[in-house]
Structure 1
Amino acid sequence: MPAASQDGAATLSSAPPALDAGEASAVAARLFGVDAAATLLASERDQNFRLDGGAGESWLLKVSNPSEPADIVDLQVAALDHIHARAPGAPVPRVLRNRQGDATAAIRLPDGRRTCVRLLTYLEGLPVRGTPRTRAQRVSLGRALAGLDRALDGFSHPAASHDLMWNVAHADRLAGMIDQVATGARAAMLHAFMNRFRAVQPQLARLRRQVIHNDCHLFNVLVAHDDDTRVTGIIDFGDLIEAPLVGEVATGAAYQLRGTDDPLGAVAEFVAAYHAVLPLDAGEREIVAELMATRHLVTVLITEWRVKRYPENRDYILRHNPESWNALFLMADMGSAALRDRVLSGIDTGDLR
């Protein structure tokens, strides 16, 4: 892969930790004083365990990938602390402290590698991915993401500008992957979308930047069991990064295409809802649709590349892959202007009641 992305690929290229449930329970008890049964949750590059205590309490134990730098973990901890200080009611996990009052603790994995663990509150809810998609839900999701970004506004951290393969603003660094993962017409389509991104990339330098979640897909947003339009959680801050704010909207919008007869109309509803809470300026509106397409391009490239290295985790790695291919096919014959106008059509109507 391109040399420019080597540092950012380190965590994706490193085998995830491999604690079993019993070991996770022991770690939680020893370091955090939590006596609970552990259940392994699906993850790509780290490990997450749900901890259930006897009194009905639940927590989340996060075991970082050993290649994850300590300052990146600290970035995630500091961001969550900032959000809770700025917006106490925000639907994000709270970082808990261990017996020494620290947010993280070091452990040695069974294979000898060292890493760190964290304990978070566990947010109840259903992943949006498993619920019926409706306009009301998309409006709720757009508003919730905008509220999160408002809470993150003003947050800074020395590690926030770290290298990250999933940063859509630097998608051009993945261009060398195209001919590794696709051939023929598919490769030609990917090259075409990469060229479209390169055409708008210079505009990013003029747009506002801040720390963003950067991974607001439908598994990372939870809704209430009794009301699938009420957001109860935005989780997984592993892709947190300082980047153009418009990349946040584009990433969230990219996952609104499924579960509807009018995919781009659904995207327009989400973007308009975000805009109603945190208005996009003219430059951001001009390129948000193209960056949405670029997110699908990045998804295809990274997942096709990564699954070749970790085929045992194929189902999890490729969970967004088919939809990203479908999204690219859907948009391939649309010019940038037509795509932009369709995605912004909800802003023009202003009807979000």
Structure 2
Amino acid sequence: MSTETRQGGALPGKPGPDTHATEVFTHIVDKVPLDTIVVTLRKQYGIECVALEMLSGERDQNYRIADRHGATFVCKVSHPSEPARVTQTQAQVLRHLARVAPSLPVQRVVPTLAGEDFAKIDLGRDEPVRVRLLTYLHGTPMHQATASVTTRRSLGTTHAQLIAALAILTDAETTPDLLWDLTHIQRVRPLLAHLRSVSDRRLAECFLRDFEHHAQPRVSSLRQQLIHNDLNPYNLLVDDNTAGICGVLDFGDLVAAPMLNDIAIASSYLISAHGHPLDDVCDYVAAFHREIPLRHEEIDTLFLLIAGRLVMTVAITEWRATLHPENRKYILRNNPAAWLGLRRLSTVSLEEAGARFRKACGLDGA
């Protein structure tokens, strides 16, 4: 097995973001051999693996595992640059959700035979590799499901229930240097240099300036709590029969931040391709508001945060695709939709967006 290599945060001659925030994206290691994973599952979990299928992933090695009894699990081999406390926090959150909100469609942590949240594999590196086992959720990934009002409303309701459950977990420890933290969007400004199109770069810079001038000063006054931070269509499952949300996956980007950030992130993947750009977003926001009423300052800031998330998406993914061309297709999976979203939002004023959100939430006369 070759030794680990460590790349810089950006291409030669181009600026990059803070090293601590990007190490998990730029630290390259060989994958753990499959036979080692199978042996670990047998020895530390008591599971005889009869089928193994590799799943996509941005940082972790992910596999769908089937045992001889027909049970299905997800096996996650953590990226070596992920601190152990972050892995532990994800397990803590899932155990918390199972306890306080058992009806939420999230995975459950499968403990090792010793009762631990994850197993360790010593491969002679600086730190042991951590292996986690989670229950498997069935459903159609939202990006493959037929878009519908029912799904968007279900997302709003489910998300609000998740937010409410996470709000009462106050002792979870998360990483302060997550590149995908919308609160610190200024970290991605150097990455705009990697956008090849001059017109695209100008569009992203325009939205970033609006965020910094109008949204950044309000961030500290917004409701803060632990959030999922990555409710994209690849992390959501839809029930084929009811069209409702039946799975919320991947708590790997957990961060303490404004609650509104999480709403903006989910909204950024719902920009309508036809009609008014915010029509589908309003379906989701209205459903969320019925569960957790949004405040006026949150509604007035939401549009800027949605655009900010889209800027982060195009900047980070295009930068990472240059670092990891072998994984380019997966890294850029949300990129075209993000650019479409930015172009669509460029036709909407801040005042118009606020008015539409207020109307959707029944606050237009308030």
Q: Same fold (TM over 0.5)?
A: yes
Aligned partners of 1:169 and 1:43: how far apart in 2?
Answer: 24
- Aligned residues between the structures: 349
Question: 1:132–1:259: 8 Å Cα contact kept in structure 2?
Answer: no
Query: Contact 2:154 / 2:245 at 8 angstroms: preserved in 1?
Result: yes
Partners in 2 of 1:58 and 1:259 — Cα distance? Answer: 37
State how far apart, in whole Å, the 1-side matches of 2:363 and 2:115 are: 51
Tell me the residue number matched to 1:198. 212
The answer to whether residue 87 in structure 2 is matched with residue 73 in structure 1 is yes
Measured after TM superposition, the shift of residue 260 of structure 1 is: 5.6
Counterpart contact for 1:50–1:58, Cα < 8 Å: yes
Q: CA deviation at 1:307?
A: 0.5
1:27-176 to structure 2, matched below 5 A, reads 27-36=40-49, 37-109=51-123, 114-157=128-171, 159-160=173-174, 162-176=176-190
Q: Secondary structure at the match of 1:250?
A: helix
Pick from 273, 285, 288: which aligns with 2:299?
285
Partner AA of 1:134 in structure 2: S
Deviation at 1:327, TM superposition (A): 0.6
Other-structure match for 2:7:
none
Q: For residues 181-201 of structure 1, what are the alpha-carbon distances to aligned partners after superposition, in whole Å with 9 as ceiling and x for unaligned?
A: 244211111110110110211
Aligned with 1:270 (options 284, 295, 302): 284
Q: Distance in 1 between matches of 2:78 and 2:272?
A: 31
Provide the rounded CA distance (Å) in 1 between the counterparts of 2:274 and 2:252: 29
- Aligned-pair CA distance for 1:16: 5.9
Q: How far does residue 40 in structure 1 lie from its aligned partner after superposition?
A: 0.7
TM-score normalized by the length of structure 2? 0.90
1:120 is paired with a residue whose SS is: strand
Matched letter for residue 198 of structure 1 = E
* CA distance in 1 between partners of 2:357 and 2:328 (Å): 32
Aligned-residue RMSD, C-alpha: 2.1
TM-score by length of 1: 0.93
Shift of 1:315: 0.7
Which residue among 236, 245, 267 is the counterpart of 1:231?
Answer: 245
Q: How far did 1:344 drift? A: 4.0
Q: 2:17–2:191: 8 Å Cα contact kept in structure 1?
A: no
Does the 8 Å CA contact 1:21/1:39 hold for their aligned counterparts? no
Q: Which moved more, 1:334-343 or 1:210-219?
A: 334-343
**Aligned equivalents of 1:208, 1:307: Cα separation in 2:** 34
Residues 194-221 of structure 1 show CA distances to partners (whole Å, capped at 9, x for unaligned) of: 1011021110100110000010011101
Asked whether the equivalents of residues 48 and 62 of structure 1 are also in contact (C-alpha less than 8 Å), the reply is yes
Deviation readout 1:277-328 (Å, 9 max, x if unpaired)? 1111122111111101111000001000100010000110000001101111
Identity %: 32
Counterpart of 2:229 in structure 1 is 214
Is the CA contact 1:215–1:239 (under 8 Å) kept in the aligned structure 2?
Answer: yes
User: Please, which runs of 5 or more residues in structure 1 have no aligned partner?
Assistant: none
In structure 1, the residue corresponding to 2:253 is in which secondary structure? Answer: coil
